[in-house]
Structure 1
Amino acid sequence: MLNRIKSIYKRYFWTDEKYARSIGVKIGRGCKIATRYFGSEPYLIEIGNHVQITSDVRFSNHGAAWVLREKYPKIDFFGKIKIGNNVYIGNCSIILPGVSIGDNVIIGAGSVVTKSFPSNVIIGGNPAKVISDVKKFEETYLSYDLSTKGLDKKKKQDLLINLEEGRFIRK
């Protein structure tokens, strides 16, 4: 009963990062974690420094052995997941077993990452693939910079409401 109360306390009162560390996820410095979906083997996940993991991102360290269990009742296999430094993982992405992500990587929202990727790329899709590189991203989006980081909510809202249309990103 005491363990159940402790588990509930962790789930509702600890930050996502503190919770992740408590279940064995290795996390570097300066990270922002907004998910609690680290699978059944969270101790096989390593996250570098300055990584942002947004909401509903899911990690899976195993899977699919079920279809072989009638023939091999004890089969199980696992893959470590390693996320490099300075990585952004967009909402609802899924990171599958055995994946390594390099440094300076952007993973687009909703991506299903089924294989490893090198540093300095932008990936997205299902399955995820390289769609650009970070240098092109920097060159493109610097022209849209509004330097709103640190503004209070009201000032930011006023700026955005009164901003001319050409200053917004268009796809």
Structure 2
Amino acid sequence: MLGVLKRYINNLLLNKAIRNGLQLGSNCRILGKPNFGSEPYLIKIGDRCTITSGVKFVTHDGGTWVFRDNPQYKHIKKYGKIDIGNNCFIGIDTIIMPGVKIGENTVVGAGSIVTKDIPGNSVAVGSPARVIMTLEEYIERSEKNRTIFPENFNESKKEYLTKYFWG
């Protein structure tokens, strides 16, 4: 029951962001509860993207508040759009800062802080996020380290993985 309520609330929040201008492509997965910030109309997410739980989209620099009471700097306000290309995966608890573009076919690792553009066909991680490999290299590593499921797999995933890892 609690899971159903959480999904309902998350859908309400997503729909509110869309009504407020979030551009969301087709066939996207929005998992858990990302935070689309106070200016969702500055966020564009391409087709077939996965945005995981806890991802934060920051479209403005609130730090300018510190000096805005000085008449000389009252006019300084900084905003930036966030543009995520098609077929991207944004890992849990990632923070995406204003003015960032993430290229197509890109994986951003969990807990990363994206402060500058990430080129397409790459994997980026860290704080600040930096490219650590190409998508092709990631595919090769994933192939070598994959969990092998038998062809006639008929157990539950939980049962199989428990046996696979714990023997």
TM-score (norm 1): 0.80
**CA deviations over 1:12-59 (Å, ceiling 9, x no partner):** 273554333122100001101133411111101000001100001000
Q: Quick one: percent identity of the two aligned structures?
A: 39
**Residue equivalent to 2:55:** 57
Following superposition of structure 1 onto structure 2, how do residues 13-162 of structure 1 map, counting pairs within 5 Å?
14=11, 17-34=14-31, 35-63=33-61, 64-71=63-70, 72-143=73-144, 144-146=146-148, 155-162=156-163
**CA deviations over 1:113-166 (Å, ceiling 9, x no partner):** 000011011001001111111101111112314359xx88x611121122267x
State the alpha-carbon separation in 2 of the partners of residues 67 and 141 from structure 1: 46
- The one-letter code matched in structure 1 to 2:160 is L
State the alpha-carbon separation in 2 of the partners of residues 98 and 147 from structure 1: 42
Aligned length: 153
Sort the Cα spacing of 1:13 and 1:66 in 2 relative to 1 into closer, same or farther, 3 A.
closer
SS class of match (1:85): coil
SS class of match (2:69): coil
Say whether the 8 Å CA contact 2:34–2:52 is kept in structure 1. no
State the alpha-carbon separation in 1 of the partners of residues 80 and 123 from structure 2: 23
SS class of match (1:129): strand
Aligned-residue Cα RMSD (Å) equals 2.4
**Residue equivalent to 1:3:** none
Sort the Cα spacing of 1:88 and 1:13 in 2 relative to 1 into closer, same or farther, 3 A.
closer
State the alpha-carbon separation in 1 of the partners of residues 125 and 43 from structure 2: 21
State the alpha-carbon separation in 1 of the partners of residues 93 and 78 from structure 2: 24
Which stretches in structure 1 are left out of the alignment for 5+ residues?
A: 1-10, 166-171
Which stretches in structure 2 are left out of the alignment for 5+ residues?
A: 1-7
TM-score (norm 2): 0.81
State the alpha-carbon separation in 2 of the partners of residues 13 and 120 from structure 1: 30
Say whether the 8 Å CA contact 2:34–2:51 is kept in structure 1. no
State the alpha-carbon separation in 2 of the partners of residues 62 and 164 from structure 1: 44
